[in-house]
Structure 1
Amino acid sequence: MNYKLPSTHLLRRELLSLRRTAKVITMLGADILALPCCFQLAMLLRVGPTDFLLGGWTTSTVIALASMLAFRIAGLYDAVIRFIDFRLLVGAGMGLGAVILAFYAAAAYFSYHGIPHTALVIYWFIALSYVALSRMSARLLLCEGGALQPKDSSCTVAIYGAGTAGVKLALAMRRSGKYRPLCFFDDMAGLDRRNVAGLTVFHSSRIAEVVDRRGIDMVVIAIPSATSDQRRDILYRTRQCNVPVKTLYSMLELADVGITTHSIRDVKIEDLLGRPPIRPQPDLFAKCVRGQNVLVTGAGGSIGSELCRQIMSVGPSELHMLDHSEYALYAIEQELAGRYPGKLIRCHLGTVCDSDVVERILRDNAIDTIYHAAAYKHVPLVESNVAEGVRANVLGAQVVADAASRFHVKTCVLISTDKAVRPTSIMGASKRIAELIFQAAAMRSGSRTTYCMVRFGNVLGSSGSVIPLFKKQIAQGGPITITHPDVVRYFMSIPEAAQLVMQAGAMATGGDVFVMDMGEQVRIADLARTLIAMCGLSEKSPSNPDGDIEIRFVGLRPGEKLYEELFAGNDAVPSRHPRIMTTSEYTVEPEQLRQQLAYLLLACSSNDRNMILFLVQKLVRGYTPHSMTTQARDKTADAEVANGVTSDLSAIPLALANRQAAIYHPRKAIK
């Protein structure tokens, strides 16, 4: 369909096409004609219609030229009209006031009474009003006209937040033609039904009603200074609209570019955390990395790859990456090589359970810092593959801890999980055993290595987390599957997790367990409902049978808990970082632990599930395997007695120690 441009749009196009010099000449010409008229109007108001020409046009012209000189000094003629602001008009007003004072002083000095003094004051008001109105009118013509478009070609938008950011966004939307703002929503009751920037403001309690009645396509949250708690509350409130919800970047992100339509972004899952992001302390962040040779195990995983990115941003001497996945290692190596050309980045393909591989890397490259991120972490998968899960998480930790001590690594950091606290899953229990291994390594005398552990909750967007799963299920039309309506979890972003790991190594003194303050736990069902709403869909439920996406509760899986814990006790104390805490845990004597691990790894090599569960239960306090029946426990206990093993596994035959060596060095023959 063709649309004929009206005269205002043709005028706008002609004005915008003028050269800068022509635009300045146009402004000067308009002012040289208008300002003398402003002075004559002031005289008319002061002395009446019979004598208002008393000052004459010569005086009017002189005052006008002096006023224009003041405007030139104030920068009024150098400004781009489309972006003129209040401060420039204030400067013009002050310059005009200086002109009035100069004429007043001159008239007093020369005893000139041809012009009433109050006429000069009236002229100041009239001239300044003309300048402001003329510039604002020109700005309105040049900025707000936009290309004429059919109403159904642009996205209709409601802006949440009728403050400065919301007004600027509305003006930017009008200029773009891509969006058509229809109204504001705001929490202030005093703004209800008021007009802001030509748009009606509605109270936020009427969101659903107004969105439906006005046919709004999208809601944009325009409160960049909102805290995380406020942002989450707004997101939950706009969830009932059943239209896509977007937001502006934060004040920090907007500082350099200002507010435009490009400032609109999708709502990120991080916006739902309900707490401010945890910023790293620069001195802690770089201490174990800058100028150091760093090894990251599991470098191709979600946490491992982000660790590599954060490490490279600080400037290590060398970065070494170990992973058993060829593609994952290739992907992160290509990314980092493109971002940091010329930096030494080495890839090592292999498993962390192979002591020969780990020792070769440490021996040949003089590694200073190790971040041990390699592990199996998916609870149901590890629960159904107990032997491999325990072997990877336990043996991998022991190989890394032993090699770090042997080759005098300065700092060795284990990445653990909140599921290691009073675990109900074999994954959580195996990570608690990994913590015991690092604690025992820290207890050994003569070690030059500082060991520590870092616990955190679910990492947003990491492989195996609920967010990618929910997004996939929404894309497929549902249902979204959740284990239980009351299940809650701690969440943190991937960068926060990587930064926490790096800072923990800098604060460690030996055997420390670090935990990040992650705020309140988030209800998974609320998270799913918000994701549905962010996609502009509605939940399908008995009260809303015509909804789009159903949420289906499937029951807790083996090893899962309704809620997670970060501490086993109440002894958490602040660290050098205000948002990172440290806690103490029970330990096991190094020699006793090594004997028990030999027996556990032997059970893993024979894939004896019940024996593995029984031995893990002996090592990890509070762990009760759900999949181990009472009959199986009794049978395992009988086998223990028959083999002459004490209930605390304090004595293990020498033959088992030899089997342990075979597990560590599978390519070496047992003699």
Structure 2
Amino acid sequence: MSNDNDNPRNALLREDGALTRLVRSNRLLFGLVFFGLLSAISVTASFFIRFVVLGPFLITNLDQWQTWWLAMLGVTVPVRMIFFWLIGLHKTSWRFASVEDLPPLVGAVMSSSALIIVALWVFWDKPGGFPLSTLAIDMVLCLGLVTIGRFAYRLLSGPSDKLGNTEPRKRAIVVGAGNAGALTIEAMQSPRLGAFRPVALVDDNVHAQGVRIRGVEVMGTIDQIKDVARRRRAEVIVLAIPSATTAALYRILNHCQETKLPIKSVPSFWEIMESEKPGIRRVEDFSTTSLLQRRPVSGDVGVIREMLRGRRVLVTGAAGSIGSELCRQVVENGAAYLACLDKDENGLFRIEQELRDRERPTAFDFLLGDIKNPQRLERFFAVARPDIVFHAAAYKHVPILQFHPEEAVLNNVFGTRQLADMALRHGVQRFVMISTDKSVNPTNVMGATKQVAEKVILTRQNQDDGATSFSIIRFGNVLGSAGSVVELFHKQIKKGGPVTVTHPDMERFFMTIAEAVQLVLFAAAMGRGGDVFILDMGASVKIDDLARQMIRLSGLTPDVDVGITYTGLRPGEKLFEELWAEGEEPAPTENPGIMVARRQAIDVAEVESGAGRLVEAAMLGRRDDIWTELLALVPDFSGLTGQDAETPPEVPAPEGPREDSVNRAAETPNNLP
């Protein structure tokens, strides 16, 4: 189970391949032979020191000297091997030797030496002037050699933090006997995690059973954790398996939850490696994000820095979940200037405070406005003069947009078209649109409008001689976004339930926001124009399973402490999302987390005229025309039509075209920055 050793970035402690596996499988034999050899060396060296170095040389008969030496070897080596076996010295981990291993080691050497002295005195009735000081020298030498032998591998493997206070507080079982498990125990035996006392390890590796790491024994496998917790009177479980797969975590959690103990975890492996001081410095409550977290994004971040360094960047939807993370990573990767555009005043204020606190050399503008307002956009582009535009502004909530298709069209289609045209007019080098898996074979207005927006972007690629590179990046749900299912479940569990699940078979793709945004930046750097990139979302997750695990992580029992209610599919929802449409045939890229879809033929004139009619229908509030144009532009749209929609509150049509009202509202004050 100690799969954190598989990570290619693991440079903390590295195993020695086939030799290490051979030693592990024959640990008893190798251990006893090695320590027996050290004991023989100490006996021989003690004779040399006593009779040659210290003198005087008392032996006149070489046969007598040889007799004494062989007698000492014949008694000392077997006795010491027995004592080393009794204290389990061969079971302790060489890589993670610690001062906690010293007391039994000192006791074994001293006890065996005392027994040897008694044995020689009682059973060898003619010592013939043999000095017992030789045995004292042997004891000191043996203790030194065995200690050096135990710590040599660890010292050669690299430095570790200075050990500190080991005062126990909560008795902890550590899950995982790999590198992360060893580092976790080390941290618990220092002031960093002094609130925990490690009392046992569990690991599914058969060769790890019985091994001690820094004095803590591997006492069983994962499925035995309940019994181990009872025997060791554990108070908390700490998961030290930061690179375990989601499937493995589900299995591990099922066993851990049988103990009814709180479950904590170490940070993700890449957080450990990328921190200023690598190592385990905290444990945190095991969260849903931890459950769904995947291996780190691979790829050379240098290509991202090369794309952004010294550039002027505009991010729309900058106050949202994806947009705000884009802003953070753009700043961290060396952009010279960042313009954050959003119509959410409070959200824009929050991201402004956060970014200014980072004390980076990036210059900022925080622009309050709506992407549907062409005159404001013109002023914003004139101020920002962006080289790169990341378009993350969009309406995303499926049930709401299903009943307000006008707003979905105006924001997701008209706003996107406005931005793309501004990018062409102002000589933007790269334009990157954030899309969604709901645009594939859409069953709702939100997905259909995002597919139209994708087509609008693709029609812009060859305009103005292709000076602007347009790319689309499509992915599924992100963890931690506002209004996400995870956020909803947390609130419902906190209130005592019930947790509302749409359907027991519903599945969704999930990805952390930080991972999604880093992949967006990788894809943007790869874009050559007209590309549709698809992020590898991994395996889909059953929402019902997610809800039940979240309830268990809260220390409660599903269907007992917190009920689960199935509400049924809402208008526009489907059981399974798809990341690409039939015929797109995604191909791999140089980054394993990103695929590129095969380009589809786009009838530019048809898309332009259809999108124009769609926007006009939305501005005039002609809902039937909206459905008609959506179905014409998106042939795979299987959403509700105007005739069979569950009728929402009627929205009266404005007296004139919405564009006029938008323009009237676009009067720009002269003091715009």
Q: Deviations over 1:36-80 (max 9, x none)?
A: xx9xx9699969xxxx987796779xxxxxxxxxxxxxxxxxxxx
The structural deviation recorded for 1:258 is 6.3
Measured in 2, the distance between the counterparts of 1:264 and 1:482 equals: 31
Q: CA contact under 8 A between 1:254 and 1:263: conserved in structure 2?
A: no
Question: Aligned residue for 1:599?
Answer: 613
Instruction: Decide which of 333, 339, 342 is 2:358's aligned counterpart.
Output: 339
Structure 1, unmatched stretches of 5+, are 1-37, 61-80, 90-114, 634-657
Identify the residue that residue 155 of structure 1 maps to in structure 2.
170
In the alignment, residue 600 of structure 1 is paired with which amino acid? L
Whole-angstrom distance in 2 between the partners of 1:335 and 1:232:
35
Matching of residue 579 in structure 1 with residue 579 in structure 2: no
User: Which AA in structure 2 matches 1:471?
Assistant: H
Letter in 2 for 1:553: Y
Q: Structure 1 residues 472, 668: CA separation in 2 closer, same or farther (over 3 Å shift)? A: closer
The answer to whether the aligner puts 1:614 opposite 2:612 as a matched pair is no
- Matched position secondary structure for 2:519: helix
Q: Which residue of 2 aligns with 1:504?
A: 523
Q: Is the 8 A contact 1:488 1:562 kept in 2?
A: yes
Distance 1:366 1:181, change over 3 A: closer
Alignment length (residue pairs): 540
* In 2: Cα distance, 1:391 partner to 1:237 partner: 50
Secondary structure (helix, strand or coil) at the match of 2:219 reads: strand
Amino acid at match of 1:396: G
Is 1:665 equivalent to 2:656 in the alignment? no
Structure 1's 85 and 190: CA in aligned 2 closer, same or farther, altered over 3 A?
A: closer
Q: Is the 8 A contact 1:288 1:411 kept in 2?
A: no
| Aligned residue type for 1:574 | P
Query: For 1:303 and 1:85, how far apart are their aligned partners in 2?
Result: 49
Matches of residues 218-257 of structure 1 in structure 2 within 5 Å? 218-224=236-242, 226=244, 230-231=248-249, 233-254=251-272, 257=277
Looking at structure 2, the residues matched to 441 and 601 of structure 1 have their Cα atoms a distance apart, in angstroms, of: 17
Residues 171 and 234 of structure 2 are in contact (CA less than 8 Å); yes or no, is this contact kept in structure 1? yes
Q: Residues 210 and 551 (structure 1 numbering): CA distance in 2 closer, same or farther, change over 3 Å? A: farther
Q: Are 1:129 and 2:146 matched, yes or no?
A: no
When residues 160 and 386 of structure 1 are mapped into structure 2, their CA distance, relative to the original with a 3 A threshold, is same
* 1:539-591 CA-partner distances (Å, limit 9, x unpaired): 232xxx4xx32222211111111111111025111224232111135454333
Structure 2 residues without counterparts, runs of 5 or longer: 1-38, 58-96, 106-128, 152-161, 648-655, 668-673
What is the root-mean-square deviation in Å for CA atoms of aligned residues?
Answer: 4.1
- Residue 419 of structure 1 corresponds to 438
One of 536, 541, 549 as aligned partner of 2:562: 549
| Alignment-derived partner of residue 29 in structure 2 | none
Which runs of structure 2 are paired with 1:299-378 in the superposition (5 Å)?
A: 299-378=318-397
Contact 1:443-1:590 within 8 A present in 2 as well: no
> How far is the alpha carbon of 1:506 from its aligned partner?
2.2
Given candidates 397, 401, 404, the residue that maps to 2:416 is: 397
Please tell me whether residue 452 in structure 1 is matched to residue 471 in structure 2: yes
Contact 2:432 2:471 in 1 (8 A): yes
Distance in 2 between residues matched to 1:315 and 1:264, nearest whole Å: 31
SS state at 1:510 partner:
coil
Once the two structures are superposed, residues 328-351 of structure 1 have per-residue CA deviations (whole angstroms, 9 ceiling, x without a partner) of 111111111110355310011100
User: Partner residue of 1:564?
Assistant: 577
**Distance in 1 separating the partners of 2:389 and 2:489:** 34
* 2:425 alignment partner, one of 386, 389, 406: 406
Given the alignment, which residue of 546, 558, 582 partners 1:540? 558
**What does residue range 259-298 of structure 1 map to in structure 2 within 5 Å?**
262-273=281-292, 275-298=294-317
Matched, 1:166 2:164: no
2:490 aligned with 1:471: yes
Q: 1:244 and 1:201 mapped to 2: Cα distance?
A: 19
Question: Distance between the aligned counterparts of 2:457 and 2:466, measured in 1?
Answer: 12
Name the CA shift for 1:666/1:449 in 2 (closer, same or farther; >3 Å).
farther
Judged with a 3 Å threshold, the aligned counterparts in structure 2 of structure 1 residues 242 and 146 are, in CA distance, closer, same or farther, namely closer
Q: CA deviation at 1:294?
A: 0.8
- Other structure's SS at 1:416 match: strand
User: Cα 1:413–1:158, aligned 2, differ >3 Å: closer, same or farther?
Assistant: same
Q: Check if 1:185 corresponds to 2:205.
A: no
Corresponding letter in the other structure for 2:579: L
Question: What percent of counterpart residues are identical?
Answer: 34
Q: Report the equivalent of 1:652.
A: none
Equivalent residues of 2:507, 2:576 under 8 A apart: yes
Quote the residue 2:11 is aligned against. Answer: none
SS in 2 for 1:539: coil
2:619–2:658 Cα contact (<8 Å) kept: no
One of 403, 428, 448 as aligned partner of 2:447:
428
How has the CA–CA distance of structure 1 residues 251 and 341 changed in structure 2, closer, same or farther, with 3 Å as cutoff?
closer
Letter of the 1:244 counterpart: P
2:335 and 2:620 map into 1 onto residues whose CA distance is 42
* Distance in 1 separating the partners of 2:610 and 2:309: 38
Task: Using the TM superposition, give the Cα deviation of residue 534 of structure 1 relative to its aligned residue in structure 2, in angstroms.
Answer: 2.6
Structure 1 distance, partners of 2:463, 2:183, is: 63
Q: Is the 8 A contact 2:222 2:252 kept in 1?
A: no
Map Cα deviations across residues 94-138 of structure 1 (whole Å, 9 max, x no partner).
xxxxxxxxxxxxxxxxxxxxx99xx9999567414157669999x
Question: What SS class does the counterpart of residue 549 from structure 1 fall into?
Answer: coil
Residues 299-331 of structure 1: CA deviation (Å, up to 9, x unaligned):
111111100111111112211111101111111
User: 1:569 corresponds to which letter in structure 2?
Assistant: E
State the Cα distance separating 1:191 from its structure 2 match: 5.7
Question: How many Å separate the matches in 1 of 2:646 and 2:220?
Answer: 65
1:149-204 CA-partner distances (Å, limit 9, x unpaired): 7xxxx323222124565355446535666224343322135666777635461222
- 2:603 equivalent among 589, 606, 616: 589
Alpha-carbon separation, structure 1, partners of 2:403 and 2:645: 19
Paired with 1:509 and 1:428, the residues of 2 have a C-alpha distance of: 25
CA shift, 1:217, in A, is 3.0
- The one-letter code matched in structure 2 to 1:184 is L
**What is the CA-CA distance between 1:395 and the residue it aligns to?**
0.9
Relative distance call for 1:511 and 1:186 in structure 2 (3 A) is same
CA distance in 2, matches of 1:205, 1:632: 50
Displacement of 1:505 in angstroms is: 2.5
- Distance in 2, matches of 1:46 and 1:510, equals 81
| Local SS of the residue matching 1:563 | coil
